[in-house]
Amino acid sequence: MSQGTLYDKVWDAHTVDILPTGQTQLFIGLHLVHEVTSPQAFAMMREQGLTIAFPELTFATVDHIVPTDLRTRPFLDEQAEGMMQALEGASQDFGIEFYGLNSDRQGIVHIIGPQLGLTQPAMTLACGDSHTSTHGAFGTLAFGIGTTQIRDVLATQSLALDKLKVRRINVHGQLSEGVYAKDVILTIIQRLGVGGGKGYAYEYGGSAIDSMSMDERMSICNMTIEGGALVGYVNPDATTFDYLRGRPFVPEGPAFDRAVTYWRSVASDANASYDDIVELSTSEIEPTVTWGINPGQAVGVSARLPRPEEVADPAAARRAYAHMGFEAGTPVLTIPIDVAFIGSCTNSRLSDLRAAARIAQGRKVHPRVRAIVVPGSFEVKRQAEHEGLDRVFEEAGFQWRAAGCSMCLGMNPDKLRGREVCASSSNRNFIGRQGSPGGRTILMSPAMVAAAAVSGHIADVREFL
């Protein structure tokens, strides 16, 4: 059993009680809400006559269904308009702060929490979205939950949970040029498997993680759930505190200093004990892409597509090839693409857009490729435009859009068509994920997407730097 880890300390500080079932009742310090998984929870609240316990600890925004081009209301899609109205109505009825399309705080829920300083170390956080693990980058225990659990949080500001084991993942070394946080997490998932994290919280550490920016740590923690672990986190340090200082919801002056002292105190002890420890060296990591239908089916860009019998689950590999239409043994670098998508809660922050713009600068998107860039929030868009990144992308032939989940999932007008192959900076290559049942997704870093967009096929970003 783990001891002295951040997970143990934050868990203990938020334990309300042990329930008759043996589960822990855990207090939730921050609740984030979006339009897709919440309407049924608000409906249950109304039907059951429940009131919201701590309205000031819930914040809502819209991201999944919003169009990223034409955003005038009512939306052309009546169902999307209905979802929008449901959340607007619920926010008003339940007294919840809501950042809608007219707010300069709107954006993907996992982008705006950190950006506003709502997400802080030593907190517990819940959101009806599996990529809630993103917030763990701050040393936050962040839980992706379902709709009935959203009702639990609204009504009681707490959840009934089983304590997880803790696996420490050490990443040693420094990333070489062209290798990004996305490549690190894809490699981790490839090694440990998409179900390998079951029952665990992942604590990421080691010199490579220590020297990462908050944006990079968020990309890593974001995809924790793709490795089967519910929670992932990085211990808070000076990088964390520097990021938070001055953000709207972060305390100022002496209160900030007290906060830092407290935040430091929850970091895992030097002699903390873990249920498992995994070691990985950056020398083993090159730009990485997926070739199949789950994020663990990944390979280095200079390799050939593996034979089914070479991987952990040959049956899954055969199903993946049947969907993707790829042949084992094909060099990764020859795979053509039709669509390039830069965006999603994994990789739509300013640093992601800068890395992709560096590749796009002075180049042209391949004539066969449809390419879009979707900033993660209104604020990311504003900053990127201030730096002129929008012009770099548009001159290269990318479409520059407004903030939302966009083509990460088929819930808004941005979708794959037919059997299109998409080079995507998002997090899931599941069958049908990008809105077309026959669509095919290849996950990679934003810079790799830009390199593929200008090449018309998967390319090694290191040759563009």
Contacting other proteins within 258-277 (CB under 8 A): 258-259, 261-262, 265-266
- What mask, x for binding other proteins by CB under 8 A, covers residues 170 to 199? ------------------------xx--xx
Using CB under 8 A as the binding rule, whether residue 34 contacts other proteins is answered as: no
User: Least separation, in Å, of the C-beta of 464 and other proteins?
Assistant: 32
Using CB under 8 A as the binding rule, whether residue 19 contacts other proteins is answered as: yes
Q: Is 156 exposed, middle or buried (0-12, 13-18, 19+ CB in 10 A)?
A: middle
User: Least separation, in Å, of the C-beta of 319 and other proteins?
Assistant: 7
77-85, 214-222, 377-385, 454-462 -> range binding other proteins (CB under 8 A):
77-85
Candidates 107, 123, 139; CA nearest to 217 is 139
Sequence letter at residue 38: S
User: Least separation, in Å, of the C-beta of 50 and other proteins?
Assistant: 7
Out of 59, 67, 141, 152, the only residue in the binding site for other proteins (CB under 8 A) is 152
Using CB under 8 A as the binding rule, whether residue 10 contacts other proteins is answered as: yes
Give the H or E element holding residue 26.
Answer: strand 24-27
109-117, 208-216, 224-232, 329-337 -> range binding other proteins (CB under 8 A):
224-232
Contacting other proteins within 300-339 (CB under 8 A): 313, 315-316, 319
The residue (of 3 and 54) whose beta carbon lies closer to other proteins is 54
Contact 453, 421 (CB under 8 A): no
Out of 58, 115, 157, 347, the only residue in the binding site for other proteins (CB under 8 A) is 157
Is residue 381 helix, strand or coil?
A: helix
User: Least separation, in Å, of the C-beta of 358 and other proteins?
Assistant: 32
User: Least separation, in Å, of the C-beta of 86 and other proteins?
Assistant: 5
Q: What are the DSSP calls for 56-80, one per residue?
A: GGEEEE--SS--SS--PSSPSSHHH
The site that binds other proteins (CB under 8 A) totals a number of residues, namely 90
Task: Calculate the dihedral angle through the C-alpha atoms of 39, 41, 43, 47, rounding to the nearest 10 degrees.
Answer: 180
Candidates 279, 401, 383, 291; CA nearest to 335 is 291
Regarding beta strands 24-27 and 158-161, do their DSSP bridges make them parallel or antiparallel, or are they unpaired? antiparallel
Report d(CA 146, CA 143) in Å as an integer. Answer: 10
Q: Crossing angle, helix 39-47 and helix 147-156, to 10 degrees?
A: 50
Candidates 197, 184, 199, 193; CA nearest to 228 is 197
Using CB under 8 A as the binding rule, whether residue 120 contacts other proteins is answered as: yes
The residue (of 171 and 317) whose beta carbon lies closer to other proteins is 317
Contacting other proteins within 122-141 (CB under 8 A): 122-123, 128-130, 132
User: Least separation, in Å, of the C-beta of 448 and other proteins?
Assistant: 22
Which two structure tokens, joined as six digits, stand for 107?
């954006």
User: Least separation, in Å, of the C-beta of 394 and other proteins?
Assistant: 29
Q: Is 380 exposed, middle or buried (0-12, 13-18, 19+ CB in 10 A)?
A: buried
Using CB under 8 A as the binding rule, whether residue 222 contacts other proteins is answered as: no
Q: Count CA atoms within 13 Å of residue 48 on its CB side.
A: 14
The residue (of 10 and 372) whose beta carbon lies closer to other proteins is 10
User: Least separation, in Å, of the C-beta of 14 and other proteins?
Assistant: 7
Contact 233, 7 (CB under 8 A): yes
The residue (of 128 and 287) whose beta carbon lies closer to other proteins is 128
Locus of tokens 């500001």: 157
Is the Cα dihedral 63, 65, 69, 71 positive or negative? negative
Using CB under 8 A as the binding rule, whether residue 92 contacts other proteins is answered as: no
Strands (E), 73-119: 97-99
Sequence letter at residue 93: D
3-state secondary structure 206-270: CHHHHCCCHHHHHHHHHHHHHHCCCEEEECCCHHHHHHHCCCCCCCCCHHHHHHHHHHHHHCCCC
Using CB under 8 A as the binding rule, whether residue 145 contacts other proteins is answered as: yes
Contact 375, 458 (CB under 8 A): no
Out of 100, 251, 308, 336, the only residue in the binding site for other proteins (CB under 8 A) is 251
Out of 221, 411, 416, 458, the only residue in the binding site for other proteins (CB under 8 A) is 411
Using CB under 8 A as the binding rule, whether residue 25 contacts other proteins is answered as: yes
Using CB under 8 A as the binding rule, whether residue 165 contacts other proteins is answered as: no
47-55, 92-100, 240-248, 274-282 -> range binding other proteins (CB under 8 A):
47-55
User: Least separation, in Å, of the C-beta of 329 and other proteins?
Assistant: 23
6-14, 182-190, 274-282, 299-307 -> range binding other proteins (CB under 8 A):
6-14
Sequence letter at residue 211: S
